[in-house]
Amino acid sequence: MTLLDPLKLLTIRLPLSPLSLENHRLLERYKVGGICLFRGEYTRLTDILDLLERLFDLLGPQTLISVDQEGGSVVRLPQLPTSPGGFALSSANDPELTYAVAHLQARALRLCGFNVNFAPLLDINNNPRNPVIADRALGITAEGVIRHALPFLKAHQDAGILAVGKHFPGHGDTHVDSHYGLPVLDKDFDQLEALELKPYRAAFDAGLEAVMTAHIVFPRLSSKPATLSPEILGYLRQNMNFDGLVFTDALDMKAVVGESPPWEVALDALEAGADNLLVLDSATLEQTFERFQPTSHQMKASLERFERTVQKYPFKPPQREELSELLSKGRSSIVSVARKAVTARGVIPALKAHTPTLFLIPPNVRGGGANDSDSIGARLREEVGKRLEKAVVLEYDPENPDLDELESELQWAEVIIFVTVQRTSMQGGQIKIAQRLKTHVLDKAAHSQPNCATSRGGPPNGPIRPNAVHANLWNPFLSLELPTVSTFGFSEASVQALIYALEQAAFPGTFEVNSLETEHV
């Protein structure tokens, strides 16, 4: 490595897709210090391993190969075992299980070749209106976050993965998503020390070696977002004595994109105190490589931190046989966490195999997965079909549901499980369905109408007193004023945990949704 090679301070985005000839030539010419693998076309793990082998051949071991593999709603590699999500770990409230899940997750990444995971979140999600953190957080209090962040961190270190705590100095109390706008928090350092910075101090004491900045303006501290603020990053270095690697959040996010080209934004971040700059605008990469020319003074300390990091966490080619063995061992710790996480509010009936049950499910969800879309409908349909012999699955359109079809289906069901998978707000059609379910339950309870035999297999005689349950598979702060089961995620393990909890009427989770203001619709 050239002693003062500015390209070692750049991490660029490549999709989880075949390496194009153009990108291959670009990487042959410009030996960047980092690659962040993002959403793409690949669905087969073998293709991803092939891609990583090619990157190793091109760039060598002194490269940071990173991924956003938080778990839950942010999973770039769904082929690998991952955590059900931050809130799920928090609700299960078992630090030993948190370690087990995180170690399995980190070990799988390492065997693929990755040496950096942009996790854990150290954000405290104490704002239920937060549109970007929410279920990703490990808790809604500093103590809760620390309780699970430390075993998550240790698990990654033990697996040989550089864990990156994010988003410094804290993104949990915002109500603007920095991908699309500029969040502002009116807090000074004393207020941050009283809450947001507590997980960071605890993580530093436990050996955290890297952080990622937040694109948030703290007007009492600086006129610039934390990523570009010498005052805020200076506080991290001087007052918190942190000498690890500082990654910026992506520099193509709306919160920091202005009139300046990306290489100037990267230089500003470096001057403020960041070390590794996530330049993800693929359209201007070659221009950025040519024009990113910091002074030797700016580069020296950052390059020393970079070299220290790649010496400890070198990029390695995939270890296919060991990975295959790991994947064959099962994912019992993930299933255990998902089951222990499930909570309930209100009276939830126990489902029996013979109970006439109607599941209302959305066909898919846009999340943080490899392709930004998840076929939740197929996953639920498969799990329901395996476990509940008299259950029927009906897909609905969250925006424009067919209420006439719903009306006919409601007549035979003794239990209706209304599934939502929403990140920031309920859609209009979902609110209409919830209102109809409330009316239906009240009407049936009041009139105790006798049931008639139907093709759905309902009992031939006796009154129907239906129950309607809201199964919330994402943001727990979104409520439809029905008895509610929350899983805090929509992963395969979380879906299995939902059905198990409904069958057993077992809801052991400790997460108290009502401890924060909840949005009722």
The residues facing 419 across adjacent strands are 471
Residue 451's pLDDT is: 41
Residue 398's pLDDT is: 93
Residue 463's pLDDT is: 47
* Inter-residue contact 202 to 120 (CB < 8 Å): no
Residue 453's pLDDT is: 34
Instruction: Place 431 in a pLDDT band, splitting at 50, 70 and 90.
Output: very high
Domain locations along the chain: 15-326, 342-520
Instruction: Place 207 in a pLDDT band, splitting at 50, 70 and 90.
Output: very high
Residue 307's pLDDT is: 97
Checking if the pLDDT of 3 tops 90, the result is: no
Residue 516's pLDDT is: 58
Domain 15-326 fold is TIM Barrel (3.20.20)
The mean pLDDT of 199-221, rounded to a whole number, is 97
* Inter-residue contact 189 to 221 (CB < 8 Å): yes
* Amino acid letter for position 450: P
Residue 454's pLDDT is: 36
| pTM (whole model) above 0.85 | yes
Neighbours of 399 (CB within 10 A): 10
Residue 452's pLDDT is: 37
Residue 72's pLDDT is: 93
State pLDDT tens for residues 68-81: 999 999 999 999 99
Q: Which CATH class is domain 342-520?
A: alpha beta
* Inter-residue contact 164 to 211 (CB < 8 Å): yes
Most confident of 195-204, 286-295, 342-351: 195-204
Residue 60's pLDDT is: 97
The mean pLDDT of 238-251, rounded to a whole number, is 96
Computed over every residue of the chain, the mean pLDDT equals: 90
Asked whether the bond before 447 is cis by omega within 30 degrees of 0, the reply is: no
SS3 letters across 296-356:
HHHHHHHHHHHHHHHHHCCCCCCCHHHHHHHHHCCCHHHHHHHHHHCEEECCCCCCCCCCC
Checking if the pLDDT of 210 tops 70, the result is: yes
State pLDDT tens for residues 97-154: 999 999 999 999 999 999 999 999 999 999 988 888 999 999 999 999 999 999 999 9
State pLDDT tens for residues 432-482: 999 999 998 877 666 554 443 333 444 444 445 679 999 999 999 998 989
Checking if the pLDDT of 368 tops 50, the result is: yes
Catalytic amino acids?
Answer: 179, 249
Beta strands 484-486 and 415-420, pairing class: unpaired
201 CB-contact burial (10 Å; exposed 0-12 / middle 13-18 / buried 19+): middle
Residue 515's pLDDT is: 58
Structure tokens at 61: 């071991």
State pLDDT tens for residues 28-60: 999 999 999 998 888 899 999 999 999 999 999
Residue 258's pLDDT is: 74
| CA–CA distance, 386 with 320 (Å, rounded to integer) | 32
Checking if the pLDDT of 9 tops 90, the result is: yes
Strand (E) positions, 94-156? 116-117
pLDDT above 90 as % of the chain: 73
Please report, to the nearest 10 degrees, the dihedral formed by the alpha carbons of residues 71, 496, 479, 76 taken in order. Answer: 20
Least confident of 190-194, 321-325, 372-376, 482-486: 372-376
Checking if the pLDDT of 384 tops 60, the result is: yes
Residue 285's pLDDT is: 87
